[in-house]
Amino acid sequence: MDPIVPARLAPPPAATPEARRVRQTAQDFEALVVQHLLRTMRQASPGTPDGQGGMRAYRDLMDEELARSLARSGGLGLADVIVRALVRRTEKSPQAPPPAGR
C-alpha cells in the first residue's frame, strides 16, 4: 500500500445518478476544507511572503487545484465519511412524501 494515498474505508455506493451527485458534492466539500487548511497553513507559516498580485492569485489557484486533486484521490477521507453517513441516513429514514404546494 502506498503510504501517501489513504486506503478507502468502504467501497463507494452504487453509481446511480444520485449517488454520483452525492459523491461529487462530498468531494467538492472536502476540497474546500483542504483549500482552507492550505490557506491557513500559509498564513501561519513564518517567513512565507504573502505575495504580490499575480503571485498570490497563482498560489491560490494552485492551492485550489491541489485541494481538488487531493479530494478526488481520497484526500483526508472526509468525502468517504460524508457519503457513508448520508447513505446510512437515507437507508434508515423512510421515504417521506414530497411537501405539499404552498
Whether 12 is in a domain gets the answer no
**Is residue 71 one of the residues assigned to a domain?**
yes
Range of the domain at 43: 17-91
Domain annotation covers residue 31: yes
pLDDT attached to residue 36: 92
**What is the full DSSP assignment across 43-86?**
HHSTT-----HHHHHHHHHHHHHHHHHHHHTTTTSHHHHHHHHH
Count of domains forming the chain = 1
Q: How confident is the model at residue 2 (pLDDT cuts 50, 70, 90)?
A: very low
pLDDT in tens, 36-93: 998 888 878 776 666 666 777 888 888 899 998 988 888 889 999 999 998 888 777 6
Q: Does 6 reside within a domain? A: no
pLDDT-derived band of residue 31, with 50, 70 and 90 as boundaries?
A: very high
d(CA 94, CA 6): 34
**2 in any annotated domain:** no
**Residue 100: inside a domain, yes or no?**
no
Q: How far apart are CA 78 and CA 31, in angstroms?
A: 9
Q: Which pLDDT value is given to residue 46?
A: 72
